[in-house]
Amino acid sequence: MAKSIYKVSAFTSDPFSGNPACVIPLDDWLSEENMLKISRENAVPETAFFIKKSNNRFALRWFTPELEMDLCGHATLATAHVVRVYFRDISWPITFETASGELLVDYVDEFYQMTLPRRKGKACDLGEQLKKALNIQPDEVYKSRDFMLVYKDQHSVENIQIDRAIFNEMDLGTGGLIITAPGLEVDFVSRFFTPQASILEDPVTGSAHCTLTPYWSERLQKKKLLAKQLSERGGELACEDTDQNVIVSGRAATYSEGILTI
């Protein structure tokens, strides 16, 4: 069995930065076991599998090397890029049917605009285990799908160190740890870490901005914000809080295309 496979860098126009995702079009779903094995072999943060249902509707699933995810922003953006570049007769905006419901994606002025769930965090305690895993303690702590730790400045985010041995003892389900602060050149910056993952720090995390956007929108009294994720690869995002959803936008660049033989 041979399938097309595309490697796309999301939230960037440079294929050597942003967050890499592999995207695989299918006619029918493979077994979950095989999709997970393929994701492990690809060794990127997420692999997206999708099925075209019409000229503007697709079924979409996301896998890390460890598990199937309920939501992945950068792999959704990467899939929209593959749809636009490699498929004909597409009508924008397009809709992805996913485990998190229907996700609408439009393409406007070279930006993919994703309408994603709004996941406002609730204030909570840090917890002793997480406290011990951090070299710098946060000013505020929130919880939605992910933990979100808010710091006073960008310098703190840049210098965060995670004790991986302690961090890996935590069970966050499909969630992770968002580190965020006001930005020097953008409205806010962030980093994202996942325990028990082969890739500790995610380069650019679209789904984290489902929680970041409502927080910073309320704090800065702005509906539209610019954000940067401060990983080694780095990435830039435009975010908007609509009160019902968040709109997360970014560019994408194809790194490679090929044939996957199973």
Same domain, 144 and 104: no
Same domain, 66 and 126: no
pLDDT at 67 over 80: yes
Same domain, 15 and 105: yes
pLDDT at 238 over 80: yes
CA distance 205 to 77: 11
Same domain, 138 and 173: yes
pLDDT at 216 over 90: yes
**Partners of 113 in beta bridges:** 106, 249
Which residue among 33, 46, 110, 201 is the active-site one? 46
For residue 223, what are its two tokens?
A: 């509906």
Arithmetic mean of pLDDT, 45-74: 94
pLDDT at 171 over 90: no
Residues 81/52, Cβ–Cβ less than 8 Å: no
Same domain, 111 and 141: no
**pLDDT, tens digit, 9 for 90 and up, residues 220-230:** 999 999 999 99
Same domain, 129 and 113: no
Which band of pLDDT confidence, cut at 50, 70 and 90, is reported for residue 165? Answer: very high
Is the dihedral angle over the CA atoms 135, 181, 81, 110 positive or is it negative? negative
Count of residues making up the chain: 262
- CA distances 91 to 27, 56, 58, 223, Å, are 19, 5, 12, 28
Q: What is the count of structural domains for the chain? A: 2
Residue 166 domain boundaries:
122-243
Which band of pLDDT confidence, cut at 50, 70 and 90, is reported for residue 172? Answer: confident
Residues 116/208, Cβ–Cβ less than 8 Å: no
Same domain, 137 and 94: no
**E strands along 11-137, which residues?**
19-26, 46-54, 57-63, 68-69, 94-98, 101-108, 111-117, 122-123
Same domain, 127 and 96: no
CA distance 36 to 62: 9
CATH number at residue 254: 3.10.310.10
Same domain, 101 and 78: yes
Arithmetic mean of pLDDT, 149-171: 95
**Partners of 239 in beta bridges:** 225, 248
3-state secondary structure of 222: coil
Which band of pLDDT confidence, cut at 50, 70 and 90, is reported for residue 174? Answer: low
3-state secondary structure of 251: coil
pLDDT at 140 over 90: yes
Same domain, 67 and 54: yes
| Catalytic status, residue 128 | no
Same domain, 105 and 9: yes
Same domain, 158 and 198: yes
